Amino acid sequence: DAGVIQSPRHEVTEMGQEVTLRCKPISGHNSLFWYRQTMMRGLELLIYFNNNVPIDDSGMPEDRFSAKMPNASFSTLKIQPSEPRDSAVYFCASSLRAARETQYFGPGTRLLVL
Amino acid sequence: GQQLNQSPQSMFIQEGEDVSMNCTSSSIFNTWLWYKQDPGEGPVLLIALYKAGELTSNGRLTAQFGITRKDSFLNISASIPSDVGIYFCAGIKAAGNKLTFGGGTRVLVKP
């Protein structure tokens, strides 16, 4: 069975450029989560979708960050414009119904903004 | 800042040793979870705890949900080299549905 799929696995870009991270959740899962991991702040929840609808985006750092889930099998996290402090590993996770249930994490996208 | 304080931040293990780590908070959590993250991978769920006082095992791993609901413990018995990695605690508050993660415990092998 395919797990959560994320692309790209690595991204290096210059400050000011737009960055789009992609996620395909596990088929049949109704909840999708975007996390950011840094050494300083650890793992932080950015946004949480249930049935393709954003439920909680209070973790999104600022207006430069946006996330969409146009259908049950695809989500994007976009940063525009990117800044060096956005450098981190971004994880997507999915669960069958809600956050309380087991969340399965993807391999992450390692982003470096120069 | 993080609401879950995890300790120790790092530790060295020797094969065969037992390992303990804990997670504390000033807030009450309704669910406690323990994850392990290997290099270059996402966290993988090890154990989930849903009731205060609950003690749950998964192979050589044992975790407990503190009676006060403000802490949890993870023990690894008879450690083996593949136990190396970063262990995270995570909690879900009664009133919310978000996972809050601890800072992680990095388990390393003694040289």
**Could you read off the pLDDT of B28-61 as tens digits, one per residue?**
999 999 999 998 899 999 999 999 999 999 999 9
What pLDDT does A1 receive? Answer: 64
**B41 contact residues in A (CB cutoff 8 A):** 105, 107-108
**pLDDT score of B1:** 47
Q: How far apart are the CA of B28 and the nearest CA of chain A, in angstroms? A: 15
Q: What is the arithmetic mean of pLDDT over A94-102?
A: 77
Contacts of A35-40 with CB under 8 Å at 24 or more apart are A35/A90, A35/A91, A35/A92, A35/A93, A35/A105, A36/A88, A36/A89, A36/A90, A36/A91, A37/A88, A37/A89, A37/A90, A37/A91, A37/A108, A38/A87, A38/A88, A38/A89
Check B92 against A100: CB less than 8 A apart. Answer: yes
Cβ B10 vs Cβ B75: under 8 Å: no
Of A41, A44, A108, the CB nearest to B42: A108
Looking at the complex, report in whole angstroms how far the Cα of residue A16 sits from the nearest Cα belonging to chain B.
Answer: 26
